Amino acid sequence: MWQTVITLCLLANLSGVRATCTYPYVAVGEKCLFFATMADIQYSEARQMCHSMGGELAAVLTATQFKDIVYYIYDYGYSGQHFWLDGTDSAVEGQWQTSAGLPLPMGTPFWATTYGNIEPNNKENEDCLEIHPARNYYMNDITCDAINSPLCEEDVVSSSRNVTAPTSCPRPYVELAGLCLAFITWADQGWAEARQTCHGLSGELAALTDIEQLRAVYLYLHQESIAFDSFWLGGSDIEQEGSWKWTDGEPVIMGTPFWGFKENINSQQPQGGTAENCLYLDAQAGHYFSDGDCELLLNPLCMLEGQ
């Protein structure tokens, strides 16, 4: 499972951590970086993952920073991996900048260049930044819905976001409406497997028992640009059809304003009967509560145990 992979990756890098870097970040030149090789996700999800780890996608602003990252990739066995970096020209085509609004360096020695082709080339509306083994880890523009691993940098605060991972919630949890929640966008799992993923993070699938919690989650999903993802919650009526309970046995609140609709405004969820026994936040229906087949492959929304 992915939590085993992340543990092995982090343990392998412990010797590189210095006092100025907070675990699981390692010192790479002047930066504290986390090579999140357990996750293969889109650009927006990669940013959210870095935010939940107390950072941002790594910004490369000098030639030395770029050299240090490339050398580290080869020296520490990441040479088969491909990574997202902090950079986009989605606001104005051709004007590449970080999430904090800093201009990215162009040309040599950063971007890949061959006869007749100079990156970034916006070949297919490519607005996001990657480094990839196919280009020997030179920078390349790529579509933002491509799949790469996040390369996170610690404590880089972006002017475009307001949520940080507070010290009261251990990483990768973030604090929302008094809860420590982890949005596991890098795992697509059935409900039972999603519970196991949360258990591996000392948590459980989230129970949203107050409407302000649902509102806070909704705002976070849009702020972090992961509103296209659906998330498992810790509710089900597996034991008794129609009797919805959280994993701790407490009843799930029914009706408005928690439960939404799928196709017909006159038929409020849950409507799936015995075929749909697990609770999730449905991206296609405004992230209201919905019942679904427990084998659907969705992202876990974990809550730290003891809350």
Structure tokens at 18: 């210095």
Residue ranges in 107-210 assigned as alpha helix (H)? 191-200
Residue 97 phi, psi dihedral angles, 5° rounding:
-150, 160
Predicted local confidence at residue 6, as pLDDT: 45
Whether residues 118 and 180 fall in one domain? no
**Residue 139, C-beta contacts closer than 8 angstroms, at least 6 positions apart:** 60, 66, 85, 87, 110, 111, 112, 119, 120, 129, 130, 131
Whether residues 182 and 293 fall in one domain? yes
Whether residues 11 and 134 fall in one domain? yes
Pairwise CA distance, residues 190 & 122, whole Å: 37
Whether residues 295 and 186 fall in one domain? yes
Residue 158 confidence (pLDDT) above 70: no
Name the average pLDDT for the chain: 89
Listed residues 119, 154, 189: the one ending a domain: 154
Residue 11 confidence (pLDDT) above 90: no
Residue 98 confidence (pLDDT) above 50: yes
Predicted local confidence at residue 177, as pLDDT: 95
Residue 270 confidence (pLDDT) above 50: yes
Confirm whether 217 is domain-assigned: yes
Whether residues 300 and 182 fall in one domain? yes
Give the DSSP letter of residue 59: P
Confirm whether 116 is domain-assigned: yes
Pairwise CA distance, residues 145 & 147, whole Å: 7
Whether residues 11 and 118 fall in one domain? yes
Confirm whether 159 is domain-assigned: no
Confirm whether 168 is domain-assigned: no
Over residues 157-179, the mean pLDDT reads: 70
Residue 164 confidence (pLDDT) above 90: no
Whether residues 10 and 148 fall in one domain? yes
Predicted local confidence at residue 16, as pLDDT: 40
Whether residues 13 and 104 fall in one domain? yes
Coil, strand or helix at 212: helix
Confirm whether 296 is domain-assigned: yes
Predicted local confidence at residue 167, as pLDDT: 56
Which domain CATH number covers 82?
3.10.100.10
Whether residues 138 and 188 fall in one domain? no
Task: State the pLDDT confidence band at 162, using cuts at 50, 70 and 90.
Answer: very low
Listed residues 154, 182, 206: the one ending a domain: 154
Structural domains counted in the chain: 2
Listed residues 93, 125, 154: the one ending a domain: 154
Q: Where in the sequence is the domain holding 96, given as residue range(s)?
A: 2-154
Confirm whether 47 is domain-assigned: yes
Whether residues 138 and 240 fall in one domain? no
Predicted local confidence at residue 18, as pLDDT: 43
Predicted local confidence at residue 234, as pLDDT: 98
Confirm whether 167 is domain-assigned: no
Whether residues 279 and 200 fall in one domain? yes
**Residue 108, C-beta contacts closer than 8 angstroms, at least 6 positions apart:** none
Confirm whether 163 is domain-assigned: no
Task: State the pLDDT confidence band at 17, using cuts at 50, 70 and 90.
Answer: very low
Q: What are 56's strand-pairing partners? A: 153
Whether residues 229 and 133 fall in one domain? no
More confident residue, 135 or 279: 279
